[in-house]
Amino acid sequence: MELIDTTQKNYLYKVKAMPDEELFLVDGYVENEPRSLDEHNSPFWPEEIRRSTVQWQVPVYKLCRRLAEQLKPACILDIGCGTGFKLANYLGDMAKVVVGVDQASGIRMARARFPNMNWIEGNLTEREVWQELRPLAQGIVICSDVIEHVERPRQLLLDIRAVMSPGSTLVISTPDRNVLERARKLGPPLNPRHMREWSMDEMTKLLTSTGYVIVEKHHLFPREYVISIREAARLVYRLATSKAIPDTRSSMAFVLNKYSEA
């Protein structure tokens, strides 16, 4: 964990001084075509989704749980909650109000699996969705491995900031391109659903340019590991091929506060 001195105002760029398209990616970076919306020919969360899929980003949600234990938030809002498995299992009991929002394919499964929780179906590119989220962004806001999927990541960060109360905390995560095992420094990402992948330095600049103060930076394992025959076989394979054990720490997570211009 890297602690950041939040009194250093030089981390902050003027929010309105940057053009909307400024993403701080290295010159020559090549993006993938957008493929993450349900409307892109197939549902993002298919009905036959496997248990292994929901293990990704578990370390991020465990980080959020530790924060919730410290901050005692009245509300936890998960923007891009997917099927809701991690929100329900790691944070469902950590606030009076716990809400997940995502597109139709994810929320449909979330409601079926966790009918007693609060779910909002909506496309984050639609302005009315953000008005609905404003009263809910009063405690801890989570946006875990969403930003690499969206067409306008800078706008996503500005929209989140606009609905956050001054005392709320944002936790955002995304793969660190520089430590992915099969990194493409100039893109496009190997995951075809990822439009872009940033380095730690690039994401730091993007976050501060959109009006956030970085409180903590983390490098986390990308997924949860369990004791199983499959994992044992995978470990043997990685040892035999001289690959990282158990995986490169590819997930970077930031704990952020909203910068106040007052």
Cα separation, 199 vs 40, whole angstroms: 27
7: which strand partners? none
Q: Where are the alpha helices (DSSP H) in 210-250?
A: 229-240
In 4-145, the DSSP E strands lie at 75-79, 97-102, 118-121, 140-144
Q: Which residues, including other chains, have CB under 8 Å from residue 122's CB and lie 6 or more apart? A: 101, 102, 103, 128, 129, 132
pLDDT of residue 243: 67
What is residue 47's predicted lDDT score, i.e. its pLDDT? Answer: 76
What does the block give as tokens for 175? 């793969």
- CA-wise closest residue to 148 among 43, 36, 254: 36
Would you say the pTM of this structure is higher than 0.85?
yes
Question: How many other CB atoms are found less than 10 A from the CB of residue 155?
Answer: 14
Cα–Cα distance measured from residue 151 to residue 36, given in angstroms and rounded to the nearest whole number: 9
- Could you state, in chain order, the average pLDDT of each consecutive group of 10 residues for the chain (262 residues)? 41 44 93 93 78 77 98 97 95 97 95 96 93 96 97 96 95 92 85 95 96 96 78 76 70 88 44
- The amino acid present at 49, given as its one-letter code, is I
For 31-258, CATH gives: 3.40.50.150
Both structure tokens of 56: 């990704």
| CA 73 vs CA 38, 142, 165: distances in Å | 32, 13, 12
Q: What is the pLDDT of residue 3?
A: 43
